[in-house]
């Protein structure tokens, strides 16, 4: 589609048409209207999501899969209907979706399940996933800590070697280096669909092809793509993927692990206890098939139902028009930031290889010359603008760019062009306020 057509479609989506659905957006901060540009950390919730959780808690609250009474049956049906809805939203079947407390829990589940396979737990299929001393796990230099530390720990437990794909000056992954890193000893390739610092959509097809050629397992962190991109995980051909509800208009405490059926079948369980077994004696247990095999204990029932409401809300929108609107915000944000003296963008296409065509979500992290990121954040907050400051759980990536912290502004479907302009106007006053420049 041409840029002109995309721009026309972006205009077809008016964020004002949905803003009344998000009660918190009517707030003021220090006497100014709230401009919420921290959606990459956590998105705001529409009334439909809030109401869905309240409706369950006040009308059908009960433990699932554990009772024969009316409330238990209703709760179980709502819980499993939610699984089906959320799975369909990412192109999967309900048997491919495991509920977790979030993406971090999902990634730890996978890492510990592989550790158990490496210790000899599970059948022949599990043993095929085992890691041994000298095997390699490949991640990227752009990882959120949640997709790095579990692999560090798995390497420590198994004797595997952790390697990383470097990032270029413009924020894109070095695919030539990736091709040289991913080889016959590679057992796992884990990477983000979208960097939570750079906003860049990574080349999934190319990375999956390299992993497939090596016979390695692919693990995708889809936290920053699920809220913004049409997500079809089976079509992406990844083996496993995780995402979090609270970043895609849903509640806290809920996320999901997607897996190809044969991979989930092969993985031994991580957490054990009630609800994930078929038979238990005092000496041993037999486990249910996925997804219940990975859902020990009390489940986040109201949260799953609320996340289902979130994906229904999203699905009712013209998501292509929403995506074009967010691209418009991303371009306006970048153009405004680069025009302000003393601003350095992380992952700027004008540096390095200069791949300006790289797909992005509406997210930019930046440094203000002479002013610490936390001071920038406080200055913006005094004007009602909420942004993220710090290393965004990506210390190695910040170290790569020679800094310890940055300011991150991230938009969502409810963000308006006018709010981006308010943000840019506020940023333009930062250095003057702190005496760091005009």
Work out the burial of residue 24: count CB atoms within 10 Å of its CB; fewer than 13 is exposed, 13-18 middle, 19 or more buried: exposed
CB-based contacts of 262: which residues, under 8 Å, 6+ apart?
125
Tell me the C-alpha distance between 172 and 166, whole Å: 9
Q: Is 51 helix (H, G, I), strand (E, B) or coil?
A: helix
Q: Is 380 helix (H, G, I), strand (E, B) or coil?
A: helix
Q: Which positions are catalytic?
A: 393
Asked if residue 189 lies in contact with residue 202, where contact means CB atoms within 8 angstroms, the answer is no
Phi and psi, residue 127, nearest 5° = -65, -30
The token pair at 99 is: 């509920």
Tell me the C-alpha distance between 147 and 108, whole Å: 9
Tell me the C-alpha distance between 280 and 131, whole Å: 29
- Give the β-pairing of 240-244 and 97-100: unpaired
The token pair at 420 is: 């981006």
Tell me the C-alpha distance between 280 and 298, whole Å: 18
Tell me the C-alpha distance between 361 and 347, whole Å: 13
If we measure between CA atoms, which residue out of 93, 26, 65, 107 comes closest to residue 288?
A: 65
């Amino acid at each position: 589609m041409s840029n002109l057509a995309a721009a026309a479609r972006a205009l077809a989506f008016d964020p004002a048409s949905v803003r009344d659905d998000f009660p918190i957006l009517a707030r003021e901060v220090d006497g100014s209207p709230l401009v919420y540009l921290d959606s990459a950390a956590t998105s705001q919730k529409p009334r439909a999501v809030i109401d869905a959780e309240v409706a369950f808690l006040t009308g059908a609250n009960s433990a699932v899969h554990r009772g024969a009474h009316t409330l238990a049956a209703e709760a179980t049906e709502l819980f499993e209907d939610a699984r089906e809805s959320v799975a369909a939203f990412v192109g999967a079947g309900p048997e491919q979706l495991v509920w977790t407390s979030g993406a971090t829990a999902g990634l730890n589940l996978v890492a510990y399940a592989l550790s158990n396979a490496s210790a000899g737990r599970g059948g022949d299929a599990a043993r095929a996933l085992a890691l041994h001393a000298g095997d390699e796990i490949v991640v990227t230099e752009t990882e959120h800590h949640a997709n790095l530390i579990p692999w560090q720990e798995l390497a420590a437990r198994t004797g595997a070697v952790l390697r990383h794909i470097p990032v270029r000056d413009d924020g894109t992954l070095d695919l030539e280096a990736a091709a040289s890193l991913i080889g016959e000893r590679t057992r796992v390739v884990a990477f983000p669909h979208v960097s939570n610092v750079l906003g860049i959509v990574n080349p999934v097809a190319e990375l999956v092809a390299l992993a497939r050629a090596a016979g390695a397992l692919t693990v995708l962190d889809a936290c920053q793509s699920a809220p913004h991109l049409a997500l079809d995980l089976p079509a992406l051909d990844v083996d496993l993927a995780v995402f979090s509800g609270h970043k895609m208009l849903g509640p806290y405490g809920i996320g999901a692990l997607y897996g190809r059926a044969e991979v989930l079948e092969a993985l031994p369980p991580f957490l054990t206890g009630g609800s994930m077994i078929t038979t238990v004696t005092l000496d041993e247990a037999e486990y249910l098939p996925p997804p219940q095999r990975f859902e020990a204990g009390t489940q986040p029932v109201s949260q799953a139902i609320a996340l289902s409401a979130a994906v229904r809300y999203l699905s009712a929108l013209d998501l292509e028009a929403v995506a074009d609107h967010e691209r418009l915000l991303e371009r306006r944000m970048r153009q405004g930031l680069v025009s302000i003296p003393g601003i350095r963008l992380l992952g700027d296409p004008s540096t390095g290889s200069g791949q300006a065509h790289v797909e992005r979500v509406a997210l930019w992290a930046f440094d203000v010359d002479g002013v610490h990121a936390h001071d920038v954040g406080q200055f913006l907050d005094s004007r009602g603008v909420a942004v993220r400051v710090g290393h965004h759980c990506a210390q190695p990536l910040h170290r790569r760019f020679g800094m310890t912290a940055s300011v991150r502004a991230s938009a969502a479907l409810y963000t308006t062009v006018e709010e981006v302009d308010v943000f840019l106007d506020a940023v333009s006053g930062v250095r003057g306020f702190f005496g760091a420049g005009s």
